[in-house]
Amino acid sequence: MRKSIIKLIMLLSLSVIAFSSSADPKVEQKYVAITAIVEHPALDNVRKGVEDELKDNGYIAGKNLKLQFQSAQGSSANAAQIAKQLTANKPDVIVGISTPSSQSLVATTKLIPIVYTAVTDPVLAKLTPSWDASKTNVTGVSDALSLETQIDIMLKIKPNAKNIGYVYSPSEVNSTIVLKELQIALAKRGMTIIAAPAQRTSDISTAAQSLKGKVDLIYTTTDNNVVSAYEALAKVANESKIPLVASNPDSAERGAIAALGMSYYDLGRQAGKIVIRILNGENPGDIPSQVGNITQLIINTKAAERQGVTLSEDVLKSAAKIVEK
């Protein structure tokens, strides 16, 4: 009886070994973490672009890809904590969407590859030592725009504009960089900028109100606080008949008359291509920083009516998209 039991156990063991050896080998799974300072249409489009690029290149979440996303909900303190958590999890690549999130990641790890995106100037933000290959763990895609073309659009919307209002968050490096550069660029055309700082999202409306009677037009960038409360800003522009122009295409659907800027979805796709290069074995320090290569002009004709502007045929014809809302 005892010999029969032993024989049965041996047969069962051989069956388990045979079953294991014939099973499909476990697919290697890559791990990509993504973090953004806040969730709003522009940054959400960046994330979707990254995810779609990964998917289209065979990296499927839940199969051969572990994909994780965390939002800092507009808090720099949260961004720092998220950076620590993600670093501790040791992903293959971390994508930082926005300057604050990317800065938190760079301050946390010098080893895990970091791909920044939706950052205007990675050098001034101290993410990379130069625009060339960093020789560090950091690379990415900037959303820097030509300010000359931005001023051209302002003047097409308001030909006689002299004083330009600028609502921004002083704590956002992207916004302070643009402020300084815009002051110089406007001065060359005999124009001035009047800045209205808004540290918190709840301050946006008050900052916009402070520009009444002082400016001919309000210009906004991809400042995360401003974008998060864009409807409040547009409300002031409508009531005060102050034309609103933006560098974030999504802002046109939320109240700006015109928005000339990066396609943030395509910016995400471009960043996704870099992520894939790293997953395939390239060193991030050997990949130079890039600038987004797809821009678009969106026009909102209803916003123009509300803000007292008659759009020229030239502006309408140059638009990639016209919205009426």
Q: Looking at the structure, do residues 165 and 64 belong to the same domain, yes or no? A: no
Residue 300 inside a domain? The answer is yes
Q: What is the pLDDT along the chain (325 residues), one digit of tens a residue?
A: 444 433 333 333 333 333 333 333 466 899 999 999 999 989 999 999 999 999 999 999 999 999 999 999 999 999 999 999 999 999 999 999 999 999 999 999 999 999 999 999 999 999 999 999 999 999 999 999 999 999 999 999 999 999 999 999 999 988 999 999 999 999 999 999 999 999 999 999 999 999 999 999 999 998 999 999 999 999 999 999 999 999 999 999 999 999 999 999 999 999 999 999 999 999 999 999 999 999 999 999 999 999 999 999 999 999 999 999 8
194 falls within a domain: yes
Together in a domain, 114 and 159: no
If asked whether residues 137 and 160 sit together in one domain, one would say no
Contact 166, 254 (CB under 8 A): no
- Whether 131 and 172 map to the same domain: the answer is no
Kind of pairing between the strands at 321-323 and 244-246: unpaired
Total of domains in the chain:
2
Residue 15 lies in a domain: no
Query: Do 207 and 312 reside in the same domain of the chain?
Result: yes
Phi-psi region of 249 (alpha: psi -120 to 50; beta: other; left: phi over 0): alpha
**Is the same domain home to 232 and 286?**
no
In a domain, 1, yes or no: no
Residue 75 domain-assigned (yes or no) = yes
Q: Within a domain: residue 13?
A: no
Same domain, 195 and 103: no
What is the model's pTM? 0.81
Task: Give the residue numbers spanning the domain of 278.
Answer: 30-143+264-293
Q: Say whether both 178 and 317 belong to one domain.
A: yes
Q: Is residue 121 located within the same domain as residue 251?
A: no
| 53/139 same-domain check | yes
Structure tokens at 148: 């000359």
CATH number at residue 313: 3.40.50.2300
Are 255 and 280 contained in the same domain?
A: no
**pLDDT score of 45:** 96
- Classify residue 97: in a domain, yes or no: yes
Check residue 28 and give its pLDDT. Answer: 86
Q: By C-alpha distance, which of 43, 48, 36, 28 is closest to 92?
A: 28
Q: Do 179 and 47 have their domain in common?
A: no
Residue 5 lies in a domain: no
